[in-house]
Structure 1
Amino acid sequence: MAAPRKNALIVGASRGLGLGLVETFLKRGWRVTATQRKPSPDLAALASDALSVETADIDDDAAVSALHQRLAGQRYDLVFVVAGVATQAHDPAHDVPRAVAAQVYLTNAISPIRFAERFRDRLAAGGSLVLMSSVLGSVGLNESGGWETYRASKAALNTLALSFEIRHRAENLSVILMHPGWVRTEMGGPEADIDVETSVAGMADVIEARLGRPGTAYLDYRGETLAW
């Protein structure tokens, strides 16, 4: 008898890395529920019996609660929160308007943790919660500066994710903070090191190898541990 298909929820899948992850896990035989903030023709083009598409904005608590309710009968081996922003990332922190800096922090750090808290009861036994972080969130590896508000938001995400896992440690949660590499996406730019296919294949390999392992890990797409 064939093993049952694994089930993934990929949050923020309308383009770039999120879209690539949906395509990769579908090719690997997973069932995938993908979320979009607004309708995505690229996501719609992947339509199949193994793909469900939902619309929700992780910055909207009511929308996240409604999504949680719509998915009440589902359990996921993987919940991967990809969604994030890099607004005015190249500007030094003192030049970024307070409202912009605050929104970057909310979207990149607070909203993923609020989503994780809301959806942890949808995680199947032996599953993993993955949050899209970045090597730029490493304080120890910051030797070049730049990307100040983005760096700070990802460092905050790392800290909050570790606290989230400690708070629920009795549940043996598996939490992975994932650096996708410097990828040629709209955010990463054309000069980046690797393409989307290389990044998402690597991340999928790391996730499948570590699925359900308790504790918090901060890893890159090759499975290398990053300094906090």
Structure 2
Amino acid sequence: MSERQALIIGASRGLGLVLADELARRDWRVIATTRQSDGELQANAQVWNERLEIETLELTSSEQLAALRERLAGRQLDLLFVNAAIDRGNLPIDEVPTDMFTEVMVTNALSPLRALEALRDLVAPGGTVAVMSSEQGSISRNTEDGFELYKASKAALNQLMRSYATRHGGDGQTKLLIDPGHNQTRLGGPDAPLTPQESIPAVVDVLEAQAGAPGLQFLDRDGEVVPW
């Protein structure tokens, strides 16, 4: 059986960092991107040696995405996973400045789909393209006040992923939106009930279990369907 290969976009810290580490632990060969090639990801690459390599990428840059695609020419991926999200506070939508709205939507919704479009031809038939989403993007579960812009960006991400799946429905690739739960990250805050070390092994279980499944699914870390 050939070695499985994954590209993790956004792995410098938090969920993406632990995801890259967990895949390497399971004998995947992992390419992990970061805006700056230092810190904990670099330390992990030294531990895992050739199983974890680092590429530099600013996800919001179309030019850098194109350059990454060129550098990876000839590689074949079993998994392409995009992890990207920012939050700019808990403002009601009428108080959100236009530049803040644009920044969050570009980072959380537009850029992940640009990455999929730029890199999808590296994914083998039967491989998986996945994006880190959130239950916060579920319209039917939006029953509590707060974080309106972040919720809207994740709902937009989900809708764009639905369009992507419709457009590329015949490519033979598994397509997943993953809700990892509320984790103790820079985004989730220190009081979140989960740590990435608790949630990410379950996320990888889902990724491995769903490999080869047809269509698009929106799943949580336990493999349960999240309502749109």
Q: TM-score, normalised by structure 1?
A: 0.96
Q: Aligned equivalents of 1:212 and 1:11: distance in 2?
A: 21
Letter in structure 2 aligned against 1:7? Q
Q: Any idea what SS the aligned residue of 1:170 has?
A: coil
Conserved? CA contact 2:10–2:82, under 8 Å: yes
Task: Identify unmatched segments of 5+ residues in structure 2.
Answer: none
Q: Any idea what SS the aligned residue of 1:175 has?
A: strand
Q: Aligned equivalents of 1:34 and 1:131: distance in 2?
A: 14
Q: Aligned equivalents of 2:8 and 2:20: distance in 1?
A: 7
Q: Aligned equivalents of 2:86 and 2:15: distance in 1?
A: 13
Letter in structure 2 aligned against 1:86? D
Q: Which position in structure 1 is the counterpart of 2:196?
A: 196
Q: Aligned equivalents of 2:141 and 2:104: distance in 1?
A: 21
Please show how residues 79-94 of structure 1 align to structure 2 within 5 Å. 79-88=80-89, 90-94=90-94
Please show how residues 56-205 of structure 1 align to structure 2 within 5 Å. 56-88=57-89, 90-205=90-205
Q: Any idea what SS the aligned residue of 2:32 has?
A: strand
Q: CA deviation at 1:172?
A: 2.7
Q: Which position in structure 2 is the counterpart of 1:53?
A: 54
Q: Aligned equivalents of 1:197 and 1:222: distance in 2?
A: 15
Q: Aligned equivalents of 2:118 and 2:170: distance in 1?
A: 17
Q: CA deviation at 1:173?
A: 2.7
Aligned length: 225
Once the two structures are superposed, residues 166-191 of structure 1 have per-residue CA deviations (whole angstroms, 9 ceiling, x without a partner) of 11112133110001100011111111
Letter in structure 2 aligned against 1:183? N
Q: Aligned equivalents of 2:15 and 2:7: distance in 1?
A: 14
Q: Any idea what SS the aligned residue of 1:186 has?
A: coil
Conserved? CA contact 2:137–2:158, under 8 Å: yes
Q: Which position in structure 2 is the counterpart of 1:18?
A: 16
Conserved? CA contact 1:8–1:31, under 8 Å: yes
Which of 12, 33, 36 in structure 2 is aligned with 1:35?
33
Report % sequence identity. Answer: 41
Q: Aligned equivalents of 2:26 and 2:13: distance in 1?
A: 19
Q: Any idea what SS the aligned residue of 2:99 has?
A: helix
Q: Aligned equivalents of 2:81 and 2:92: distance in 1?
A: 30
Conserved? CA contact 1:10–1:22, under 8 Å: yes
Q: TM-score, normalised by structure 2?
A: 0.96
Q: CA deviation at 1:39?
A: 2.5
Q: Aligned equivalents of 2:103 and 2:129: distance in 1?
A: 23
Q: Any idea what SS the aligned residue of 1:126 has?
A: strand
Letter in structure 2 aligned against 1:56? L
Q: Any idea what SS the aligned residue of 1:8 has?
A: strand
Q: Aligned equivalents of 1:49 and 1:39: distance in 2?
A: 16
Conserved? CA contact 1:16–1:185, under 8 Å: yes
Letter in structure 1 aligned against 2:82? V
Task: Identify unmatched segments of 5+ residues in structure 1.
Answer: none
